[in-house]
Chain A
Amino acid sequence: MTDQQAQNKIKTEEYFINMGPQHPAAHGVLRLILTIDGEIIKNVEPDLGYIHRSIEKMCERDSYQQIVHLTDRMDYLSSHINNEAVCLTVEKGLEIEVSDRVKVIRTIIDELTRIASHCLWWGVMGMDLGALTTYFYAFRDREMINDIFEETCGARLTMNYNVPGGLMFDIHPNFVKRTKDFIAHFKTKIPEYNLLLTDNVIFHKRTKGVGILTREDAISFGVSGPVARGSGFSSDVRKHHPYSAYDRVDFKEILFTEGDTFARYQVRMMELWESVSIIEQLIDNIPEGETKAATKAVIKLPKGEFYQRVETARGELGVYINSTGNKNPYRVKFRSPGFSNLSILNHISKDVLIADLVATMASFDFVIPDIDR
């Protein structure tokens, strides 16, 4: 019997291991039950619920002003955008038109949030693939955005700056100057990011052709955000259903058709430039006006259903409020981008190596509290 024949006779068995709930590459308490054969993944089954806080149920208890601060805790990297989603829904129900000043300030802070979120994602993606330096570089620049938020909103992460009808208070006098300083600084740093990671051959080998998601699958699984745009599915809510001041700025929707991990990476890197350009268009002419439209102390939405969607850093966030006319909503449902994006993970990581699964997950940019809520 030759060696070749002996090898063919060896039977391999599938077995399962847990990746998580505490795993450095999962960025939170996400448990993946992997069925593997050697190092080849046969099945990925996400097991959720480790950070479930029943935010939707708590919303039924709270008044409309109080709901806003709970959404900070869903996708904490785009907390301002989540807050805005709830406020836009309530404003839709009350038929309030917020002033131009509020719209512009909200849009600027949205885009700053997006840059901060993408910065964190970029640093962590490099770290997942073994490049620790990216983490420090990204956090250095993210720190400047956090300082802007802290000065204007009072908090760095869970900002709670939006209220139904406008903003809690006006922007800080230093806001415009600081934002301009940051934009000038950040424009010199994106090329540095590219030198460090984007052009690296090892990074290409780890990401190109890994975790390919086709356009058809992206549509049928309800994938949104940069993940869908990396597969050529035009899904930007800012472009297709503009809210706040997005209808008055000029920006491109980044689309790549490869659908692999590297395409998703490139979408986010290009979105950094688009966010910078949106802020540059708005920062110089913030219109004057009131920062808060008059609302009653106790907000009661009329009877009915209200839905509003926004584009967070991860994809499409939908807020559905069912009101019976009381001061509390009857039902609140958040359509979170992370949950829909997670559903595709099993489909695209069959018969790949474990290391490729880590690369794919890094490019999906999961925030686990957003998936669990």
Chain B
Amino acid sequence: MSYFSDIYKGIKTLLTGMSVTGGYFIRARKGAITQQYPDNRETLKMFDRFRGEVVMPHNADNRHYCTGCQACEIACPNGSIEIIWDRVVDPETGKKKKEIDKHIYHLAMCTMCGLCIEACPTNAIVWAQNYENSVYDRSKLTKILNQPGSSVLDGIED
């Protein structure tokens, strides 16, 4: 007798489960459909805080906010940031001032922890919302964040 009741129970629970999936099959709305990812690149927008990669914004005159204080380099847990800097004599005051030559960022080593951006006193580096970072050659993942010929904005002190 339990043989037949087992079969009955088995079929009953099978139909219960199928009523859920069948319900979705009939009532499938637009929201329930998977994103068509590579085809929706134009409309796909990441959240503002999304950690894509570290970038250094420059203004229209090719000026940035980085004073070369190296706080980001110290904060980075795995050495993804290297700063090559020099002391340059200010022609007006005659004082020596730190200035960056290259702000090197190794995207391949970056764990996207966000400690460098937290540490930056002048908000010179920010997160970009890129999400397609794959390249064919890993040397392309070593980026120089300051643009050629750029300099620090006047009046930015760390």
Contacts and interface: CB of A to CB of B under 8 A. Distances in A.
Interface residues on A, range: 20 to 34
A145 interface: no
B49 A199 contact: no
B19 to A, nearest CB: 7
B6 A154 contact: no
A169 B77 CA distance: 19
Nearest to B6: A201
A65 B115 contact: yes
B142 interface: no
Contacts, number: 69
Contacts of B127: 154
B49 A172 contact: yes
A269 interface: no
Contact of A152 (B32, B49, B113): B49
Given A195-B20, A201-B6, A201-B10, A154 B77 contact: no
A150 B45 CA distance: 12
Given A154-B127, A158-B111, A195 B16 contact: yes
B47 A66 contact: no
Contact residues of A: prevailing secondary structure: helix
Contact of B49 (A65, A69, A153, A297): A153
Contacts of A192: 20
B21 A69 contact: no
Contacts of B51: 154-155
A200 B114 contact: no
A195 B50 CA distance: 36
Contacts of A140: 32
A160 interface: yes
Nearest to A69: B113
Interface string A138-182: 001000000000111111001010010000110010000000000
Given A69-B111, A160-B114, A154 B49 contact: yes
Interface of A: 62, 65-66, 68-70, 133, 140, 150-155, 158, 160, 163, 168-169, 172, 192, 195-197, 199-202, 297
Given A153-B49, A155-B51, A200-B14, 8 more contacts: A150-B46, A154-B114, A169-B49, A172-B49, A195-B17, A196-B21, A197-B17, A200-B13
Q: Which 10 residue pairs spanning A and B have beta carbons closest together?
A: A69-B113, A66-B77, A154-B49, A154-B51, A151-B47, A200-B13, A160-B113, A201-B13, A201-B9, A201-B10
